[in-house]
Structure formats: structure tokens, C-alpha cells
Amino acid sequence: MLLSNYEGRGLLFYQNFRESAGKPGIDAYRGELVILEGEVGDAQGRRMPPKAVIKQAALLTDAEHILLLAGFLEELASLPIMLEMYSADFCDKTVVIIYVRNLGKPVQTVVNGARLMLIPLVEGMAWNEMLDELHLEKSDFKGQSAGEKVLTAYEATSSYAPKYPSVTLEEIPALAIEVRFEARGAI
């Protein structure tokens, strides 16, 4: 299985869960997904913490392909690294929804047959934002296991047709903006 391969390579980081999605051969994962591995730290080959991850990742896979990849990237500059690491496992059934902190506007493109949506998000939870984007309610998940919830989100993408402008991969880096944070808290 593809998730077992990722786990063996040390790409599943801060794992919330990894389990069957309720259908034979379909697995779900939520946690962080490594996109840039850390340096080898010792003689046994153990690695230092990763240099870049997809935060709040939700991943649904079958034996050979990623079906759903959703999560949050701090920097748009990490997108090519993510695609280099995972796009070989995309197929025409793959849906990728990535929230990016420094993205100027939402866009969509196609990578190895997969639909890729990039959506700006300065703060928030990628999972909750994705459920809003897919028009899913809490009642849609009633009585489901964690893995089944990821499968339900993937199934909702079949009717998901955002009206975001289509761009090429080469145009995406130019969409980066500078994000400034406001100070909050007691004065």
C-alpha cells in the first residue's frame, strides 16, 4: 500500500491517525506530510526533523495512487518541492486542495492528470476550510470513523467545480504575496 511506503520512508510526521477508510484497499491519514526531509543526523541513518511539511494534511490513497491530498503550506515556494515528492503518485482521480499562506488569489491547474486547487489561507484549519469549500456539514459525517470522514470528503470532490481561474504551473510562483501579521492580545 502507498501509505505503508510513505511510512517506511519516514514521510508521515506528527501522525494523528492512519487507518482504513472503510473500503477495501483505501487508506486514510491525517497529520503532517514531509515534503523536504531533514539531514541525516547520525551513523544509524536517523534523520533530523523535516525542513518542510504539509501541515494539517489529509491523505487518501489506494494501493498505487493518491486520491485526495489536502493541507496547508506556509510558503508558495514549497509547492514545487511538494509536487516533486508526490506528483508521481497522482492519477486522473486525484484531487489536491492546498491552502497557502502567501498566495494572492485562488487558482487551479492540472498536474499529472490530478486537479490541483490552491487557495489562500492566512490562518485557520485546512480541514475545516476544505469542508466549507466542499459544502460538507457535520451531519454528513455522523457515525463515521476518522478514515471514513476523509473518504466522504474525497467523494464530495466529484461534484466540486470551483470557478477559480486556471493557470499553468509556470504562472503560480508569480502569485506569491507578502503576508503581514497583526499583533493580537492584551494591550
- Return the percentage of the chain with pLDDT > 70, whole number: 96
Specify if 78 maps to a domain: yes
Between CA 57 and CA 76, with CA 15 as vertex, the angle to 5 degrees is 30
- Number of independent structural domains in the chain: 1
What are the phi and psi torsion angles at 129 (to 5°)?
-65, -40
Specify if 152 maps to a domain: yes
Specify if 148 maps to a domain: yes
CB 172 within 8 A of CB 76: yes
Contacts (Cβ under 8 Å, ≥6 apart) of 13: 31, 32, 33, 34, 50, 53
Residue 40 clears pLDDT 90, i.e. is over it: no
Specify if 186 maps to a domain: no
Give the separation between CA 25 and CA 48, rounded to whole angstroms.
Answer: 32
The residue among 83 and 43 whose pLDDT is bigger is 83
Residue 36 clears pLDDT 70, i.e. is over it: yes
Specify if 119 maps to a domain: yes
| pLDDT-derived band at 49, boundaries 50, 70, 90 | confident
pTM for this entry: 0.90
At 141-180, the pLDDT tens digits run 999 999 999 999 999 998 888 999 999 999 999 998 888 7
Specify if 187 maps to a domain: no
Give pLDDT, residue 41: 75
Specify if 183 maps to a domain: no
Give pLDDT, residue 45: 74
Domain that holds residue 103: 2-39+46-175
